[in-house]
Amino acid sequence: MAGSRVPRQLFLQGVAAVFMFAFASLYTQIPGLYGSEGILPARRTLRPQGKGRWQQLWETPTLLWEAPRLGLDTAQGLELLTLLGTVLALGALLLHSLRHPLIYLLLWAAYLSVCQVGQVFLYFQWDSLLLETGFLAVLVAPLRPPPNQKQAPQGGLTEALPHEDLPFWLVRWLLFRLMFASGVVKLTSRCPAWWGLTALTYHYETQCLPTPAAWLAHHLPVWLHKLSVVATFLIEIAVPLLFFAPIRRLRLTAFYAQALLQVLIIITGNYNFFNLLTLVLTTTLLDDHHLSAEPGLRHHKKMPTSWSKALLAKLSLLFELAVYGLLAYGTMYYFGLEVDWKQHAIHSKTTFTFYQFSQWLKMVTLPTVWLGAASLAWELLIALWRWIHVQGWLQKFFAGVQLSILGTATVALFLISLVPYSYVEPGTHGRLWIGAHRLFGTVEHLQLANSYGLFRRMTGLGGRPEVVLEGSYDGHHWTEIEFMYKPGNVSRPPPVLVPHQPRLDWQMWFAALGPHTHSPWFTNLVLRLLQGKEPVIRLVQNHISRYPFHKQPPTYIRAQRYKYWFSQPGERSQWWRRQFVEEFFPPVSLGDPTLQTLLRQFGLQDKSPARARSPSSALAQTLNWVRMQLSPLEPPILLWGLLGAVVAVRVVQTLLAPWSFQPLPLARKEKHHPTPKKDSGVASKQDAPAPKSNSSDSQSPRWKK
């Protein structure tokens, strides 16, 4: 059986990279979102209630309770946490020795602390996914660096510790829950666009922040859009079952299908780190054999030597072909695929009803739970078998302790995850073991397991709703306030932001879907712009000079709702078309009764203003200095700069790796201290050419090159 040591290292590096992007992206937005002059000041969320220190920490698990002890307010504590998280994640990404459980525990605790005060701007499924993945990384990370590849047995298989694969299996289970639920909710929502296979004819222009490639994808033929929806259902609902297939080629097929879907989403939409994190989760479908981490396995694969092995190989091939045939037949049958040779198109339609799908879901959800349980049981048996073969009573004892702890944690997390997973089918949710519900309720606030289901309903079927802010000095002549990233100016091309997430722009997209009263924070945004608060202005335009009211705040602000559509291919001068719909937010000014009423209604009036803190502490002064140095940079450039630095360091490491362990020249020493040729062997080493790569170097394994 091929090992998973290299995929685990890829997973740990990927989690570190995503944490780095998430922390750095949020850091750039803290003053405008959570500062004392921000839209939703974070200090309002942490109100001591006279409880004990540990009880308070358990009920609201955030390290920001300790910020006052450092002489910092809550917003400065957020800055400190995000900076430390960025540095720790960068270190774990670059240094093998820092991929330690303690480092990932700190990263998880820091991000959980941030989410506790993040309010509506951190209520995204990818934030929950990062927390769940980050906690699994704590269990996956090894306590000690793995042995060198040169120490592996002659069979080519790297010797694994008994417990190593158990927590990594949870990553596969998380990937299954994420993809299966995301596919199922599209149909359980009864969205006509998904059922009619027309969702992608709207998706590219109505998603939150499209890319320039989305404009091109939007103008593809309708039949291809519908076929793409069919492929999406296939990849998200049927293919995830192959994650637990006993044949590795089926798992690799599932990997490439998932990777293709995520890459296409990255190309056509700015979904920050979400799709990158999903790609990180897919590493659990890989193995050392496939990544050529075990020399000799790929190019010198031995054919079965006995008739039993040959028969097993043929049966495996037949089973694999049967699975592919079943997937192809099921897709053609349930989506009525027909080839139109005259029009060079493939027509498709949904041939099953909502009732039939609901019955199928009832029939299949509980078996998927048992499938997961059976797969986990198999992993536990393999771990127990490896433990039996551990040599030495002391090594066996410590291996048994680690296996017991990791095995118990794995089973517990699996049971916890069943509760949010069963939300996709209410009947299954009610039939779960009561102990799983109790266990989940105990740790629910830690977000160790979450429910998922992305793109449940397709919005903007009649045009993309968009809120446009306008300011005026006299109430008659209005000037649009253009955001850096969200659609506004019809002549400006869509941006490319991955992996940055402008959280205000995202919430503006949600706000446009309903009345402004459904987005209470919007009233505070209007107030801050009327007050001319620079931290909030930087969320709109990072370069203040580009903000139309940078010299003096506007006297009046209002918001209008428009509908946007992508322009047609012949309209080269613009990317969008738009049409006015209605007034979204009435014209208001400072002291306006309407504005004051809304602030009171939503509890946004600050009855206890923040006390002015003198930045006398060295830590506060350091944070202010770092902020001043980084504030001129636009967030995407900052994140791309971090990525470029990582790539540059990796290139240097790769170039220097062959020279890291060159033996010292001993020729002159031989002249003065001759030794018998049969004992030293120095001359033969000296005459041999320098090795191109040191496969025993744990800092530069072969797969990194």
pLDDT in tens, 286-317: 998 888 755 454 554 555 568 888 888 899 99
pLDDT tier for residue 705 given thresholds of 50, 70 and 90: very low
For 587, phi then psi, to 5°, come to -65, 130
Higher per-residue confidence, 522 vs 618: 522
Q: Which amino acid is at 459?
A: T
Report the pLDDT value the prediction gives residue 665, as an integer from 0 to 100. 53
Using a pLDDT cut of 90, give the percent of the chain over it. 73
- State the Cα–Cα distance between residues 129 and 428, nearest whole angstrom: 23
Dihedral sign from CA coordinates of 492, 493, 496, 501: positive
Report the pLDDT value the prediction gives residue 502, as an integer from 0 to 100. 96
Q: Which amino acid is at 479?
A: T
Report the pLDDT value the prediction gives residue 663, as an integer from 0 to 100. 54
HSE-up (13 A, CA, CB side) for residue 69: 4
In this predicted structure, which of 21-30, 153-162, 368-377 has the lowest mean pLDDT?
A: 153-162
Q: In angstroms, what CA-CA distances link 325 with 53, 281, 340, 402?
A: 60, 27, 22, 43
Residue-wise pLDDT for 414-466, tens only, equals 999 999 999 999 999 989 999 999 999 999 999 999 999 888 889 988 899 99
Q: Determine how β-strand 556-566 pairs with β-strand 464-472.
A: antiparallel
pLDDT tier for residue 392 given thresholds of 50, 70 and 90: confident
- State the Cα–Cα distance between residues 450 and 413, nearest whole angstrom: 11
- Does the pLDDT at position 694 exceed 60? no
Return the beta strands (E) in 574-669 as ranges.
576-588
- Does the pLDDT at position 390 exceed 70? yes
| DSSP summary character for residue 269 | B
Using a pLDDT cut of 70, give the percent of the chain over it. 87
Q: Which helix (H) or strand (E) holds 312?
A: helix 307-334
- State the Cα–Cα distance between residues 704 and 425, nearest whole angstrom: 43
- State the Cα–Cα distance between residues 271 and 208, nearest whole angstrom: 8
Report the pLDDT value the prediction gives residue 1, as an integer from 0 to 100. 47
Cα-based torsion angle of the residue sequence 391, 396, 402, 407 in order, rounded to the nearest 10 degrees: 90
- State the Cα–Cα distance between residues 466 and 448, nearest whole angstrom: 35
In this predicted structure, which of 142-146, 242-246, 326-330, 516-520 has the lowest mean pLDDT?
A: 142-146
Q: What is the mean pLDDT of residues 493-503?
A: 95
Report the pLDDT value the prediction gives residue 698, as an integer from 0 to 100. 37
Is 578:563 a contact under the CB 8 Å cutoff?
Answer: yes
pLDDT tier for residue 144 given thresholds of 50, 70 and 90: confident
Is 595:527 a contact under the CB 8 Å cutoff?
Answer: yes
Alpha helices in 444-488 (DSSP H): none
Higher per-residue confidence, 137 vs 702: 137
Q: What is the pTM of this model?
A: 0.89
HSE-up (13 A, CA, CB side) for residue 132: 31
Residue-wise pLDDT for 650-659, tens only, equals 888 888 877 6
Report the pLDDT value the prediction gives residue 304, as an integer from 0 to 100. 52
Q: What is the mean pLDDT of residues 589-600?
A: 93
What does pLDDT average to over the chain?
88
Cα-based torsion angle of the residue sequence 637, 642, 644, 645 in order, rounded to the nearest 10 degrees: 140
pLDDT tier for residue 605 given thresholds of 50, 70 and 90: confident
Q: What is the mean pLDDT of residues 121-131?
A: 95
Q: Domain spans of the chain?
A: 464-607
List, in sequence order, every residue forming a beta bridge with 340; answer none if it has no partner.
Answer: 345
